[in-house]
Chains A and B, each alone.
Chain A
Amino acid sequence: MQRDLSLVKSLPVELAGDIHGAYLSLENGTWTWLALLFRVSVSSYGSGTTLVLLGPPGQVPTMRSGGLCISDNAGLAYFLTKRFLRNWAPMSTHPALAKLVPSTGYSFQTVAEQGRRLEIIRSDNATVELKWSNVQPALAFEVGSGLAPTGRHESVGIVQCALMAEIYLNSERLQGEVGRHPMFGLDASSAFLSFSGIWMGAAATDDGEVTS
């Protein structure tokens, strides 16, 4: 029996799940804090939840290097920070990304309401709260590698832009506001909730090489 190639995607599924983001900036456009929360259902590293938070180095004692990664799956966290985000702007150029060492998250809590979402991530030495509000209706997207933030996947899924977002680290609100950021071909808000993303493409190595 032959697979119906018009219905079955030819590329392997490297990751499936949700990616929620909040990129905060100053009025002059300078990024201050960048947060991505991954809730992965399918990957070669299994499922799990991983937070990546990048900010100005040395500003907060718990993240002197300028970065924080909390995960319940260390292998998945390694894959996300070393490979998946390699070309993901604006995180890819942040000096802390390559140095992140994941700490174990022991609590991941979600509060989802109409137009709002709160995610609370706790590790031994940090509690991060991500708040999105004024969340817009969902749009479905399908992009090739040219528009995928990773630069190497075909991706489908849905995205909801949020007009407001806040990030709290150990109860302290972090500096910055939501701005604009291109995403999936849209001139979009820099705060977003993306659900049911399917990221298809050949696996990459730590060096960025794509394996067949």
Chain B
Amino acid sequence: MTLPESIFRGKVDWSGENHGMLLKTSPDGPFTAMALFFRILYSPCGPGTVLLLMANPASSAGMPEDCNVVVSDNQALGKYLIREFVAKLEAFASVPAFANLTYLEGCTIPPGSGECPGSVREILHASEHRIELVWKDLGSPVALELPPEHTGPKDRKLYTVLVEARNVEIMVNGRRLPGELAERVQAGIKTTTGFLYFAETWIEPVLDPEAAEADGGEPV
């Protein structure tokens, strides 16, 4: 089967939502809390929910000393995203906490999670811990199409909808983590380190388009 022009000759790596927040306690200092929340709809490991939270990025300790954790309802997916995606994001992979994350399985998402008017709230329970992320003061959605060289991993193409947040909270067992959002620039857009990425799809490029076509046009 020859695929029409409207279909990419590339393999869909994963698709879903990818929301994050990076906080600082001083404008010129390092990030003091970092979170990435994934709601994955399609991946090699199936669907699932994964949260990476580094409550103390400067520490190489995991639980119980520091809440530097990966919480998920699909551990294979959690490990896949950390290994194949987050490890290629310089801001996350370069901090001491990333080398010694504690994996907590079997997270549950209680009622009340999700989108509310004007904000998004994600709540996860894992073990005896309750983690809550809130994005507020949301901007208008903007669709982005980024070639690999403009993405964090640099090895795949990205389609996504960015919604900026100007105010966020991270709560761990009822305690709010200190810090404020910082500024950042993406695709020439001056935005913040609080972000909601909806309808996000990562596509691995075809390494040998001729071979793929000869193989029937199937993604490789």
Which residue on chain B has the smallest CB distance to residue A200?
Answer: B143
A185 to B185, CA, bound (A): 35
CB neighbours of B161 from chain A (8 A): 13, 16, 41-42, 198
A196 to B145, CA, bound (A): 13
Interchain nearest-CB distance for B215 vs A (Å): 14
CB neighbours of A4 from chain B (8 A): 187-188
Binding site for A on B (CB under 8 A): 3-8, 10, 12, 15-17, 41-42, 46-47, 114-115, 117, 141-146, 150, 159-161, 163, 185, 187-190, 198-201, 203, 219
Interface pair B219/A139, CB less than 8 Å apart: yes
A112 to B15, CA, bound (A): 15
A73 to B47, CA, bound (A): 25
Interface pair B145/A156, CB less than 8 Å apart: yes
Knowing A16-B198, A196-B200, the reply to whether A156 touches B185 (Cβ < 8 A) is: no
Q: Which of these, A1, A142, A195, contacts B41 with CB under 8 Å?
A: A195
CB neighbours of B12 from chain A (8 A): 137-140, 158
Binding site for B on A (CB under 8 A): 1-4, 7-9, 11-13, 16-18, 41-42, 46-47, 112-114, 137-143, 147, 156-158, 160, 184-186, 195-198, 200
A7 to B16, CA, bound (A): 20
A42 to B188, CA, bound (A): 22
Tell me what chain A mostly uses at the interface: helix, strand, loop, or mixed.
strand
Which residue on chain A has the smallest CB distance to residue B162?
Answer: A8
Which residue on chain B has the smallest CB distance to residue A3?
Answer: B188
Interface pair B47/A112, CB less than 8 Å apart: yes
CB neighbours of A112 from chain B (8 A): 46-47
**Contacts A/B (CB < 8 Å), 22 sampled:** A1-B189, A3-B188, A7-B144, A7-B145, A8-B142, A8-B143, A8-B189, A9-B143, A41-B161, A42-B198, A113-B46, A137-B219, A138-B42, A140-B12, A140-B159, A140-B201, A141-B7, A184-B6, A186-B7, A195-B16, A196-B16, A196-B200
Which residue on chain B has the smallest CB distance to residue A48?
Answer: B115
CB neighbours of A41 from chain B (8 A): 17, 115, 161, 198-199
Interface pair A7/B198, CB less than 8 Å apart: no
Knowing A142-B8, A184-B7, the reply to whether A1 touches B188 (Cβ < 8 A) is: yes
Q: Which of these, B17, B114, B115, B199, contacts A197 with CB under 8 Å?
A: B199
Interchain nearest-CB distance for B18 vs A (Å): 11
Interface pair B159/A156, CB less than 8 Å apart: yes
CB neighbours of B5 from chain A (8 A): 185
Interface pair B199/A198, CB less than 8 Å apart: yes
Q: Which of these, B4, B143, B189, B201, contacts A13 with CB under 8 Å?
A: B143
Knowing A13-B161, A156-B159, A185-B7, the reply to whether A198 touches B143 (Cβ < 8 A) is: yes
Q: Which of A3, A114, A195 has the most CB of B within 10 A?
A: A195
Which residue on chain A has the smallest CB distance to residue B6?
Answer: A185
A197 to B190, CA, bound (A): 25
Knowing A42-B198, A46-B115, A112-B47, the reply to whether A3 touches B189 (Cβ < 8 A) is: yes
CB neighbours of B10 from chain A (8 A): 140
A137 to B41, CA, bound (A): 13
Interface pair B46/A7, CB less than 8 Å apart: no
